[in-house]
């Protein structure tokens, strides 16, 4: 029996040591996924801004082209009116020559001149008629192009308006959400909690002192109250995704248990926050991502006591879903 006890202890120790390793790998995989999704959102926001600017530039170009076509149309119409007036004058001259022809028949030279004048008048009339036909064809082409560009401008203007309304709606929603969160967490603002709106996203930053004891991954009672209040606001808004980021200072961890370094600490803290939110609200786990940034995204690079204190934090980043905006972009 005495020989059996050390053997059982060895098995238990081996089993326990495997758990942190497996958890460590799972959390690192979650962190990599989170980073990829965050980069994707940044790229989507940049693409949206660029596309909106391109549409605005295209609209301005179309307006210039339409203005030029309208000027060309006015010019061509003026030329047609002038040509028609000249044609009427030539027709009158031709009729007069025909009328005067018999009177000049007795004079051979006068008759020859009359014939030459009649022939020239006929050729001039034909040239003028050809010019009128050419101008009328050109005018029809301009009118067709003008109509096409007008419809294209209307379509692009409509898309720009739709995008601007969607963006304004997202911004308005983000502002309203930020205000709701700030109101719900008023009692914690003097305990290390701030709420900000940046780039259309709501950032809820919770300092370490509000949530955790030094080096711990267990959320304390006061911190849990703040997270529960936040969760109640988040569960009423289904149009956002939620990223929980853990951040540490740059002091190396010297742990020998589950938490071996700052990566472990940041990821496990973000996971602990996620579990409190999902356990105390109807927020769908599908909307949540837990990630650890370790010491590599500091707020303060001074490397002072106060700076390191600022860097030890949890950031809850609430991002509006961009599905509707992407649908508009795909219409192009």
Question: Of 128, 144, 172, which residue is a domain's last?
Answer: 172
> Band of the pLDDT at 100, cuts 50, 70, 90?
low
Predicted confidence (pLDDT) per residue in 14-58, tens digit = 444 444 566 556 666 666 665 665 566 566 666 666 766 776 777
Domain end, chosen from 172, 187, 207, is at 172
- Note the pLDDT of residue 19: 45
For the chain, the 3-state helix, strand and coil shares in percent, each to the nearest 5, are 70, 10, 20
Looking at the fold, whether 100 and 206 belong to one and the same domain comes out as no
For residues 304 and 195, state if they share a domain. Answer: yes
| Structural domain containing residue 65 | 57-172
Residues 158 and 285 placed together within one structural domain of the fold: no
Q: What is the pTM of this model?
A: 0.59
């Amino acid at each position: 029996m005495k020989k059996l006890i050390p053997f059982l202890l060895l098995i238990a120790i081996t089993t326990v040591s495997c758990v942190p390793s497996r958890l460590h790998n799972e959390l690192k995989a979650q962190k990599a996924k989170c980073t990829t999704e965050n980069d994707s959102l940044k790229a989507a926001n940049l693409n949206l801004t660029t596309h909106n600017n391109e549409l605005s530039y295209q609209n301005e170009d179309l307006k210039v082209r339409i203005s030029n076509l309208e000027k060309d149309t006015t010019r061509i119409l003026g030329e047609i009116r002038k040509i028609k007036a000249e044609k009427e004058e030539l027709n009158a001259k031709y009729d007069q020559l025909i009328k005067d022809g018999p009177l000049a028949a007795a004079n051979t030279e006068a008759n020859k001149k009359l014939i030459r004048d009649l022939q020239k008048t006929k050729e001039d009339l034909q040239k003028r008629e050809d010019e009128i036909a050419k101008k009328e064809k050109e005018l029809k082409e301009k009118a067709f192009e003008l109509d096409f560009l007008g419809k294209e401008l209307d379509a692009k203007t409509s898309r720009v308006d739709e995008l601007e309304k969607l963006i304004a709606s997202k911004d308005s929603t983000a502002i309203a959400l930020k205000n709701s969160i700030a109101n719900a967490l008023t009692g914690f603002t003097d305990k290390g909690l701030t709420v900000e709106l940046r780039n259309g996203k709501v950032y809820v930053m919770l300092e370490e002192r509000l949530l955790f004891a030094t080096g711990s991954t267990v959320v304390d009672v006061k911190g849990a109250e703040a997270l529960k209040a936040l969760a109640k606001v988040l569960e009423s808004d289904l149009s956002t995704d939620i990223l929980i980021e853990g951040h540490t200072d740059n002091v190396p961890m010297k742990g020998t248990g589950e938490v071996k370094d700052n990566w472990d600490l940041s990821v496990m803290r973000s996971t602990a926050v996620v579990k409190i939110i999902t356990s105390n609200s109807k927020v769908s786990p599908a909307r949540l991502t837990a990630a650890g940034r370790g010491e590599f995204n500091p707020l303060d690079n001074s490397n002072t006591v106060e700076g390191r204190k600022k860097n030890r934090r949890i950031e809850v980043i609430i991002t509006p879903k961009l599905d509707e905006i992407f649908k508009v972009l795909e219409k192009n």
